[in-house]
């Protein structure tokens, strides 16, 4: 019953996000056919704006889970909303065993898990964590490129501007368990930027 209510909440919030997208930042989506229809996978997206984690569930053809920085969970209401919508906390800048266990659990349950390899909005270099997760989970990585959200809601802005955005899903990538994590991270980021 809890999973059913969580799914209703997820799709209700996704509907509200789609409405906001329609009103404030019309979105063109391409490549949805590249997202496998079943099984766990990693959706690895660039991260340019606070809008990105709101926009991606609208663009994705599947219900997803996602990692969010631990600081967001300190506000009780926001933390509840993120958890109920499929998010789980990650402590940035260090190995977080709890986040890793939750990631693997969601992958085993067959969910796509969204991560931002840059680690933060507008980061230049990918963090090796995406390489670690890809190598140790053995699931495909679908690169995702978002364009335009940095202009809709630039860092520090409070009010969105009406600008069209695009979301592109690339072909799934697979990696060997013994490939260096930082090399995987660079390949994933290169694939994202190529979209």
50-76 pLDDT tens trace = 889 889 998 999 999 999 888 988 988
How high is the pLDDT of residue 121? 66
pLDDT greater than 90 at residue 194: yes
Name the nearest CA neighbour of 164 among 180, 155, 151.
151
Coil, helix or strand for 31?
coil
The CATH number for 120's domain is 3.40.1130.10
pLDDT greater than 70 at residue 123: no
87-122 residue pLDDT tens: 898 887 777 788 889 999 999 999 999 999 987 666
Q: Please, which residues have CB within 8 angstroms of residue 15's CB and are 6 or more apart in sequence?
A: none
How high is the pLDDT of residue 46? 95
pTM summary value: 0.89
CA 68 to chain centre: 9
Specify the number of domains making up the chain: 1
Domain residues for the domain of 23 are 2-194
Instruction: Give the tokens for residue 71.
Output: 């600081």
Distance separating alpha carbons of residues 126 and 132, to the nearest angstrom: 12
């Amino acid at each position: 019953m809890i999973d059913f209510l969580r799914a209703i909440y997820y799709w209700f919030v996704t509907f509200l996000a789609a409405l906001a997208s329609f009103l404030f930042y019309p979105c063109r989506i391409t490549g949805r056919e590249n997202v496998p229809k079943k099984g766990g996978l990693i959706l690895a997206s660039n991260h340019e704006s606070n809008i990105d984690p709101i926009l991606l569930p609208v663009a994705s053809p599947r219900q997803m889970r996602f990692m969010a920085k631990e600081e967001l969970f300190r506000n009780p209401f926001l933390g509840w909303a993120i958890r109920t919508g499929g998010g789980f906390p990650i402590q940035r800048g260090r190995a977080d065993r709890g986040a890793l266990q939750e990631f693997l659990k969601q992958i085993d349950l067959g969910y796509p898990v969204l991560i931002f390899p840059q680690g933060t909005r507008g980061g230049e270099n990918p963090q090796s964590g995406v390489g670690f997760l890809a190598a140790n989970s053995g699931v495909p990585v679908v690169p995702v490129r978002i364009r335009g959200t940095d202009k809709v809601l630039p860092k520090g802005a409070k009010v969105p501007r009406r600008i069209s955005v695009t979301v592109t899903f690339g072909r799934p990538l697979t990696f060997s368990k013994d490939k260096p994590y930082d090399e995987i991270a660079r390949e994933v980021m290169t694939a994202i930027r190529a979209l």
